[in-house]
Structure 1
């Protein structure tokens, strides 16, 4: 799919899009100043930084990863947009002074990346490593390094082919300096890859997802164990198309540890995993679980996967005060408690920070209201004192998101009596969404994705030539915004079809966009694939069946010679259809200076239709 396109932001601006963005539509706020609501539990919530947006600051830190923190307490992260070119930034934030510094402002293609959607990792020398979803030499994203002075180096630029495209996830790093990551698209089937990048910048694809039972569209950062095995998730694919948890051994052999059914076990995991010393894996799914919530899609779950592949749902979100749609991953403390955040739900439908104890009891640590931030997509980071740090996509003083700190009450040694009595945030004019009483489920409307037509059939096409484009219309016939996670060609002959579109990453209720599909066969015979749209509507991914027939038509350029009777002008004989190709009567006939199809058997009793070719040496013309 296209590497970049504009997207409306919570404050009404635009930014460069990443290809796969899982963003639930949030209500926009109008003018009405009211104070922020206190967190559900006695915690101290502090806004450390409120993003101001371009050109001097970042905006909208999606960070499908988390912040990284050094020993001095400085926080490092990325913002998806903002900066001098509005292509996103890498930033540093001093936890003590709250001074924020933009270390690098991305400039975009062809020499730099754009739209970083993932968090960073940091080596012992203080170098930061990350990915961008677009930009680079061909616009399909990069792997980059930023040194302590702020100098950026593009380590690898994705081509969008077998090497992968549009990385949404952050990186993992081994002791030798090799980096490991995923791309959300590209690869041999267009369904994403797992890759490694050595210290010289050489990329190796460890595994290319097929989109079948092995999974499709990995968005999450990988977890690596001491034996070199990699663990991750995909948001789609698996036996029922609802995503998988996978393991890759050091030789690149994949094992699907669990395939989500889309029911009470969860569906569409976007975040990565946490692994405990016993080898158990913990994660979240964005939907599924309690299917009475969120328009029948469910609000997601927290799950545990043991070493045998048995899944246990630790908690199923209801969409009420407990939160909904945990896009963010988890952090685990020494006692086994899990901490995370949701993108929506809570009393203001702006998301929550939660704690889940070892019995599965959920405690809401903070409920977002808008001025203090809204919509958490990034995971949390936890320091030795138990303080939690994170980012929000929107909200804050300018509506561009915030960096926050949450101090648990029992860790607030400096002010134990006042713990939980304040929320340090700047009030912003907005209208609060209706409160949802405790124990009740929010009634949430949902988008509906409608495709027209639902299948495309291309005429016979010469191998290596591109057909005239056919159009598909995607319309949101629901009542809330449709979030478009990806648009891709999948299936058996995915490489024979291509698509471009005008859709961006969200469609307002009632809006539509156009997707253009072309057919360029790589081999003869019937070729099939599917146009697949992954989104937050029911029935995702929606698909349009694609088919066409490839023929050995040769290279035809120039002008056509008009046939006369059974002869071409100039006395050249007519030639018939390749055996097995369809007969069109009246149809097209070919003539030229040799057989129309040199390398296939010819049935001279039939004439074949070969449209959309430029002509020279051979001729093709409609016969009355």
Structure 2
């Protein structure tokens, strides 16, 4: 069912924030070009990692790293020879092993894309070559790391129906197709899954469904559909391409790129029972963004942050945030007048452990090959993890800022044995007696809280 609430939210003027351009892609052999639907991810060394669709030595994409001060380097350039993958999209996922996992949309032995693992220093291993009707083709984003230690992802094509699949991959790289899409339940997914606290995978599906405007499916990790929602088009939204993000209220939040009262996209809330409420329709007021990027970021202030590829004061895209109740604030309008094109931020930013948000734009910069920007909302530093769950006795990696000199690590108030590896990460052993709750790290500079609760497995 669809409930409509605050379809035309007033745009609240932005409070103090600072947007800074920290790097310009150059689109040549020493730089990538066109980061496509990329949300950055922080590595154990404190740098941010992402992918570009073009650029690099063969002009078929790169993996890059960039420091929070804007020092960028290509970590890996994809090649047109040797069955390498081509044209990576969607960025990367950090594994509990400190390596990154991602996909290429093209290339590989079957030219249907690849799934790869890469070390922080750039050693890349192809884990799987997609094979169209057998196990999918043309993935758009990296797989997620689920609580069972396996990775789950989607492809936009392939499978017996040719409409995309959901796959599971073990940490050693064994891939299994667990579900294939059809018209009734939606097809051609662009978004990766999101695992809810109930263990189900929730996946927005770009097309198909009862009204051919896209769906959301609730899927078990064994590939059994438990529930489906069909977007109704029009004011209810259509073409959902961004992943869902679950808030502390148990509900999920995301965007559709089209639909809404103005036909320019919506922000929506969906319950675990798949009841959808539209919180904001884009394009209702002058200066509002239009056609939101792929989903939202839940920051440590409890607000969701996102981007629109169009609209704003200059028509070049915007940054915004929204509360879980739908209070919408336009934060920043991009300006690419010099290049006569939109900057097109196509995905939400990431929040680094220093509290600052970082994102990319598809275009912009002196050569119009894209940029990396920071958004400082004055939020405090925190600690983060690749996966917020483990058993007592397991060793886990904790990411942070200025961790040197850490004096204590607690799991929901229980002290843990730990070792500082670098200023940006430490390892700790989940202590006996620990229960589900926040992680706290005491450093010489601050008491750092975890971004979310850590779940102790039994």
Same fold (TM over 0.5): yes
Q: Report the TM range for the smaller structure's normalisation.
A: 0.7 to 0.9
Match of 1:44 in 2: 18
Rounded to whole Å, the distance in 1 between the matches of 2:29 and 2:160 is 38
Rounded to whole Å, the distance in 2 between the matches of 1:378 and 1:359 is 22
Q: 2:239 is paired with a residue of what secondary structure?
A: coil
Match of 2:328 in 1: 362
Match of 1:594 in 2: none
| Residues 349 and 255 of structure 1: CA distance in aligned 2, closer, same or farther (over 3 Å) | farther
Match of 2:35 in 1: 61
Match of 1:91 in 2: 64
Task: Name structure 2 gaps, 5 residues minimum.
Answer: 1-12, 382-458
Match of 2:180 in 1: 208
Q: 2:74 is paired with a residue of what secondary structure?
A: strand
Match of 1:304 in 2: 269
| Residues 336 and 148 of structure 1: CA distance in aligned 2, closer, same or farther (over 3 Å) | closer
Rounded to whole Å, the distance in 2 between the matches of 1:201 and 1:109 is 22
TM-score by structure 2 length? 0.75
Match of 2:53 in 1: 80
Q: 2:309 is paired with a residue of what secondary structure?
A: coil
Match of 2:358 in 1: 389
Q: How is 1:269-284 mapped onto 2 (pairs within 5 angstroms)?
A: 269-284=240-255
Kept in 2: contact 1:56–1:83 (CA 8 A): yes
Please say if 1:404 is aligned against 2:373.
yes
Q: 2:232 is paired with a residue of what secondary structure?
A: coil
Match of 1:618 in 2: none
Residue of structure 1 aligned with 2:94, choices 104, 122, 131? 122
Alpha carbon RMSD of aligned pairs, Å? Answer: 2.1
Q: How is 1:179-328 mapped onto 2 (pairs within 5 angstroms)?
A: 179-210=151-182, 212-291=183-262, 298-318=263-283, 320-328=286-294
Tell me which structure has the larger Cα radius of gyration: 1
Rounded to whole Å, the distance in 1 between the matches of 2:174 and 2:95 is 19
Match of 1:376 in 2: 345
Kept in 2: contact 1:328–1:376 (CA 8 A): no
Rounded to whole Å, the distance in 2 between the matches of 1:277 and 1:137 is 43
Match of 2:72 in 1: 100
Q: 2:310 is paired with a residue of what secondary structure?
A: coil
Question: What is the Cα deviation at residue 42 of structure 1?
Answer: 3.4
The superposition leaves residues 88-112 of structure 1 with CA deviations (integer Å, 9 ceiling, x where unpaired) of 000011113x211111000136521
Rounded to whole Å, the distance in 2 between the matches of 1:225 and 1:307 is 8
How many residues are matched?
365
Rounded to whole Å, the distance in 1 between the matches of 2:84 and 2:22 is 29
Q: 1:325 is paired with a residue of what secondary structure?
A: strand
Kept in 2: contact 1:183–1:219 (CA 8 A): yes
The superposition leaves residues 586-613 of structure 1 with CA deviations (integer Å, 9 ceiling, x where unpaired) of xxxxxxxxxxxxxxxxxxxxxxxxxxxx
Question: What is the Cα deviation at residue 384 of structure 1?
Answer: 4.7
Rounded to whole Å, the distance in 1 between the matches of 2:365 and 2:125 is 32
| Residues 51 and 406 of structure 1: CA distance in aligned 2, closer, same or farther (over 3 Å) | same
Rounded to whole Å, the distance in 2 between the matches of 1:153 and 1:390 is 26
Question: What is the Cα deviation at residue 359 of structure 1?
Answer: 3.9
Match of 1:22 in 2: none
Match of 1:451 in 2: none
Question: What is the Cα deviation at residue 40 of structure 1?
Answer: 6.2
Q: 1:246 is paired with a residue of what secondary structure?
A: strand
Question: What is the Cα deviation at residue 268 of structure 1?
Answer: 0.3
Rounded to whole Å, the distance in 2 between the matches of 1:290 and 1:230 is 29
Match of 1:612 in 2: none
Kept in 1: contact 2:321–2:329 (CA 8 A): yes
The superposition leaves residues 478-498 of structure 1 with CA deviations (integer Å, 9 ceiling, x where unpaired) of xxxxxxxxxxxxxxxxxxxxx
Kept in 1: contact 2:293–2:306 (CA 8 A): no
Match of 1:136 in 2: 108
TM-score by structure 1 length? 0.56
Question: What is the Cα deviation at residue 41 of structure 1?
Answer: 5.2
The superposition leaves residues 26-66 of structure 1 with CA deviations (integer Å, 9 ceiling, x where unpaired) of xxxxxxxxxxxxx9653211111100012211000013x51
Kept in 2: contact 1:46–1:406 (CA 8 A): yes
Rounded to whole Å, the distance in 1 between the matches of 2:355 and 2:379 is 9
Question: What is the Cα deviation at residue 154 of structure 1?
Answer: 0.5
| Residues 146 and 313 of structure 1: CA distance in aligned 2, closer, same or farther (over 3 Å) | same
Kept in 1: contact 2:200–2:220 (CA 8 A): yes
Residue of structure 2 aligned with 1:147, choices 116, 119, 123? 119
Rounded to whole Å, the distance in 1 between the matches of 2:136 and 2:149 is 21
| Residues 199 and 355 of structure 1: CA distance in aligned 2, closer, same or farther (over 3 Å) | closer
The superposition leaves residues 548-587 of structure 1 with CA deviations (integer Å, 9 ceiling, x where unpaired) of xxxxxxxxxxxxxxxxxxxxxxxxxxxxxxxxxxxxxxxx
Question: What is the Cα deviation at residue 231 of structure 1?
Answer: 1.1
Residue of structure 1 aligned with 2:135, choices 163, 172, 177? 163
| Residues 62 and 135 of structure 1: CA distance in aligned 2, closer, same or farther (over 3 Å) | same
The superposition leaves residues 359-397 of structure 1 with CA deviations (integer Å, 9 ceiling, x where unpaired) of 422211110001698101122112355421100000112
The superposition leaves residues 336-364 of structure 1 with CA deviations (integer Å, 9 ceiling, x where unpaired) of 32110000010111100001124422211
Q: 1:264 is paired with a residue of what secondary structure?
A: helix
Question: What is the Cα deviation at residue 72 of structure 1?
Answer: 4.8
Rounded to whole Å, the distance in 1 between the matches of 2:171 and 2:45 is 27
Match of 1:591 in 2: none
Kept in 2: contact 1:76–1:91 (CA 8 A): yes
Question: What is the Cα deviation at residue 311 of structure 1?
Answer: 1.0
